[in-house]
Amino acid sequence: MIDIRALRENPEPARVSQRARGGDVELVDRILEADALRRTSLQEFESLRASQKEISKSVGKASKEERPAILAKAKELAEQVKVLEARANEADAEADRLARLLPNLVLDGVPVGGEEDFVVLRHEGPAIRDFAAEGFEPADHLAIGEGLDAIDTKRGAKVSGARFYYLKGIGARLELALMTMALDQALAAGFVPMMTPTLVTPQVMGGTGFLNEHSEEIYYLPADDLYLTGTSEVALAGYHSDEILDLSAGPKRYLGWSTCYRREAGSAGKDTRGIIRVHQFNKAEMFSYCRPEEAAEEHERFLAWEEEMLRKVELPYRVIDTAAGDLGTSAARKFDCEAWLPTQSRYMEVTSTSNCTTFQARRLGVRERREDGMFPVATLNGTLATTRWLVAILENHQLADGSLRVPEALRPYLGGLEVLEPVK
């Protein structure tokens, strides 16, 4: 949630942010109007309640003759107070509802526009392979995975429907190797590993900002009033909800390892082959609570840790600065790393790191006590490894005979295997 006091004092940054996102600029004025009504309604209620209390106190001091009139007046005021209290509560709820519709304010320097308006910051990693020069046409990740008997989408669809799959044999081992390597890197960087819940309450899901434009992507269990998470960011953001943190020694960093669920609503026909866009996958997610003035620097660290992992699996990739209209509700800035996908001649997102400033912490009540008062903290998140990485690894490291060269850093996690051979 945005800082309503700051919005009241200077609404122009919010208007600029909404324009950059391609959002509803008039929402800012509706929030301010609702906030003004809330404050006026509360003031009227409290003023009349104070009068009611004064009248009630005078009953005991009144003469026998005066008492009936005073009691009648007190009763009349009590009814009016109830009406004003209901009106104040209604105004408060409406002001809160509108404020929660406003996305986080984008930071200076974020590209303006939508999904296609990102800015490429740099290209990294090894050179893109020239398969023609090597004398063979690259196979896509599913063909390679099936040849290794590592991926089974046909039985996944038989058991659960479209966009489900089995990772089996070396496929399961490869994912565990990748996730464990991410865990080891996070431990070395001081992260606390967490196996997180994958079901959360509406308060936590809404508090992270996922029940606005992303609500159709989320699986909901109405019988339990719980949501399945699409990232452990949600559970990690809720971990310290309604708590006061001590960040004097630096950020609190957690590495969430969880299965994630996404409905992929509205993505019909997109990446339906293989395991690029699926309903269930595993992910290692970094999360940090830090002081707001340290958030930009922490964001750069998150991006550096993601790139460290990408270098370990030896993938060609690019780093992009995501445009404002593609940020999502809670992010003020987001950097993506996209790995090269040879069979589609395009880059595919494999990591994402977002600086959510104080937006989530305000909603979830996560604060820090300092010498000059209590303040909301900043939250950040970033992908360190996920199932989708297997797509890029399989395609970029394939050999002409259908085998797979294992990136050197992954070999210790696979018992020293250097090449994965197709199953005859």
- Is 281 marked as binding a ligand? yes
User: What one-letter code names the amino acid at 175?
Assistant: E
β-pair type (280-290, 378-386): antiparallel
Is there a catalytic annotation at residue 371? no
- Is 241 marked as binding a ligand? no
Is there a catalytic annotation at residue 262? yes
What DSSP letter does each residue of 349-392 carry, written as one string?
Answer: EEEEEEE-TTHHHHHHT-EEEETTEEEE-EEEEEEEEETTHHHH
Is there a catalytic annotation at residue 418? no
- Is 233 marked as binding a ligand? yes
Long-range contacts of 405-413 (CB under 8 A, 24+ apart): 407/312, 407/313, 407/314, 408/314, 409/181, 409/312, 409/313, 409/314, 410/174, 410/177, 410/178, 410/181, 410/312, 410/313, 413/176, 413/177, 413/178, 413/180, 413/181
Helices 170-188 & 389-396 angle (0-180, nearest 10): 110
Beta bridge partners of 287: 254, 381
- Is 395 marked as binding a ligand? no
- Is 264 marked as binding a ligand? yes
Catalytic residue among 38, 163, 253, 388: 388
Tell me the two tokens of residue 214.
């992303």
Catalytic residue among 38, 100, 163, 262: 262
- Is 278 marked as binding a ligand? yes
User: What one-letter code names the amino acid at 281?
Assistant: F
Is there a catalytic annotation at residue 363? no
Is there a catalytic annotation at residue 21? no
Q: Give the H/E segment covering residue 411.
A: none
Catalytic residue among 349, 403, 405, 411: 349
Which residue from 128, 166, 125, 176 is spatially nearest to 314, judged by alpha carbons?
A: 125
- Is 30 marked as binding a ligand? no
- Is 46 marked as binding a ligand? no
Distances (CA, A) of 157 to 23, 165, 311, 369: 38, 7, 33, 51
- Is 262 marked as binding a ligand? yes
- Is 383 marked as binding a ligand? yes
Catalytic residue among 30, 87, 173, 277: 277
- Is 358 marked as binding a ligand? no
Return d(Cα 389, Cα 127) in angstroms, integer: 18
- Is 322 marked as binding a ligand? no
Q: How many Cβ atoms sit within 10 Å of the Cβ of residue 110?
A: 22
Catalytic residue among 288, 330, 352, 354: 352
Binding residues for L-serine: 231-233, 262, 285, 381, 383
Binding residues: 231-233, 262-264, 278-281, 285, 349-352, 381, 383
Binding residues for ATP: 262-264, 278-281, 349-352
Which residues carry out catalysis? 262, 277, 349, 352, 388
